Amino acid sequence: MTVSQAVVEDTDNTKLPGTVFTPRQVRWLKGVVVGLGVVLVLGFLLVIVGMARTAMHVGEGGAKVASAPAPAQVATTNVPAGSSSGPVYDLPIPAGAAVLGTALDGDRLAMTLKTKRGQEILVFDLKRGAIVSTVKLTPHNFSAINAQ
């Protein structure tokens, strides 16, 4: 086979048996597949490196978060040894408030209260014996906001 015959065979548009592709198209597709595979592997490596870097720098104060107010302390009464119950908390709620519901998540107790000012959610940390936060629920006219 001479050089001129090799060039003629390379530009030949005959299809490979059983496919709709020419040998040139198959080589091009193989290159695309290999290239995209390399991009995929590099992308996964970048994600893993990013996660590792983030995990190493957790708690170093990189992101500025609004500081929460100091938790309100709640009186705790320890039950005598041998008793089957744990500590007893004196949890102050606003005068005239009614407890509408409670929810427990790990060491946090959330109480929904109905007060003179409206509904509030009080979050209480059972480990520290402290009120962590109070969420005041205020009625809002969302249809007026969406109309703008």
Summarize pLDDT for 43-85 with one digit per residue, the tens: 999 999 999 998 888 766 544 444 445 555 565 565 555 566 6
Q: Is the same domain home to 52 and 76?
A: no
Among 56, 80, 101, residue at a domain's last position: 56
Q: pLDDT digits over 16-31, tens only?
A: 888 888 888 999 999 9
Amino acid of residue 25: Q
Q: What is the pTM of this model?
A: 0.42
Flag whether 117 is in a domain: yes
Q: Is the same domain home to 29 and 80?
A: no
pLDDT value at position 6?
46
Determine contact, residues 113/121, Cβ cutoff 8 Å.
yes
Q: Is the same domain home to 78 and 136?
A: yes
The number of distinct structural domains making up the chain is 2
80 vs 77: CA distance, rounded Å: 9
Q: Is the same domain home to 9 and 43?
A: yes
Determine contact, residues 123/109, Cβ cutoff 8 Å.
yes
Residue 136 has pLDDT above 70, yes or no: yes
End-to-end CA distance of the chain: 77
Flag whether 66 is in a domain: no
pLDDT value at position 139?
77
Determine contact, residues 109/129, Cβ cutoff 8 Å.
no
Nearest one of 78, 97, 105 to 89, comparing CA atoms: 78
Residue 40 belongs to domain spanning? 3-56
Flag whether 64 is in a domain: no
Residue 92 has pLDDT above 50, yes or no: yes
pLDDT value at position 44?
97
pLDDT value at position 65?
45
Determine contact, residues 87/129, Cβ cutoff 8 Å.
yes
Residue 10 has pLDDT above 90, yes or no: no
Flag the least confident range among 60-64, 110-114, 121-125, 131-135.
Answer: 60-64
Q: Is the same domain home to 25 and 87?
A: no
